[in-house]
Structure 1
Amino acid sequence: MPLSRWDPASALARIENEVGNAAQHAHSTSVRTSTDGDDLVITVDGIDPSDVDVRVAGGTLTVRGRSGSNTSDSFDQGGVHFSSSSSSSSSFARSFSLPDGVDQSDVETEPSPTGVTIRIKNAA
């Protein structure tokens, strides 16, 4: 198989297309992609970084996440105790192909102020 130079712009366009649906499945989660030099950067906002799982296997990057909130309220009125609770959650999982040569060691995940940032280092 001939070697070819990794083109981050082409890889970014493919990732934007493949990851774009992830935000539709996670109501309060947004996914953005960008480049930083030859690195690809995926930012997942609206999610606790501890609820994101990023794995590379067989040339595929899989990002899984879950977000949600719980609220509860209780009060007494007329000698009667009332309480209510509600919860909402959403999850997403998306897998997409990576350029040849990218493995788990090329992927860095770090918390951001609004979620998590995934950086895929150039493997060319």
Structure 2
Amino acid sequence: MPLSRWDPASALARIENDVASAAHHAHSTSVQTATDGDDLVITVEGIDPSNVDVRVSGGRLTVRGQGGSSSSDSRDEGGAHFQSFSSSSSSFSRSFSLPEGVDQSDVVTEPSPGGVKIRIKNAA
């Protein structure tokens, strides 16, 4: 294997690329609330609906979720083969107080663009 001179500029460029890639894949979740007639509507964006858990207990609605991503890169440079792997994961949990009498059967969850929409009947 031939020796090659270490190039700090190339090493720094690879690190900057890896950090930029990790920042790009970082998970961000936003929660918005609104009313629709007598219903309370909570929209959670930035999460896969299959990774969301919605529960009603003790007069509170709790929304929990997890997200994550992974990526890999492989390249040949100067006769050497480089591979890099990165992954990120995050979780969130939000709780909301509910009016008396609201139970799990009053909660309907449906996918929405980029997330999930939770409708609580007669809670507004």
**Structure 1-normalised TM-score?**
0.73
The 5 Å alignment of 1:56-71 reads 56-71=56-71
The 2-side partners of 1:36 and 1:101 are apart by 19
Query: Kindly, what percent of the aligned residue pairs are identical?
Result: 80
Rg: which structure is higher?
Answer: 2
The 2-side partners of 1:64 and 1:47 are apart by 10
Q: 1:77 to 1:45 in 2, by over 3 A?
A: same
1:78: Cα distance to partner? 3.5
Query: Are 1:29 and 1:67, in contact at CA under 8 Å, matched by a contact in 2?
Result: no
Stretches of structure 1 that go unaligned for 5 or more consecutive residues are: 1-25
The 5 Å alignment of 1:1-124 reads 28-122=28-122
1:54: Cα distance to partner? 0.2
1:9 equivalent in structure 2: none
RMSD: 1.9
Q: 1:123 to 1:47 in 2, by over 3 A?
A: closer
**Structure 2-normalised TM-score?**
0.73
What SS does the corresponding residue of 2:105 show, helix, strand or coil?
helix
The 1-side partners of 2:99 and 2:92 are apart by 23
Query: For residue 74 of structure 1, what is the amino acid of its counterpart?
Result: S
Aligned length: 99
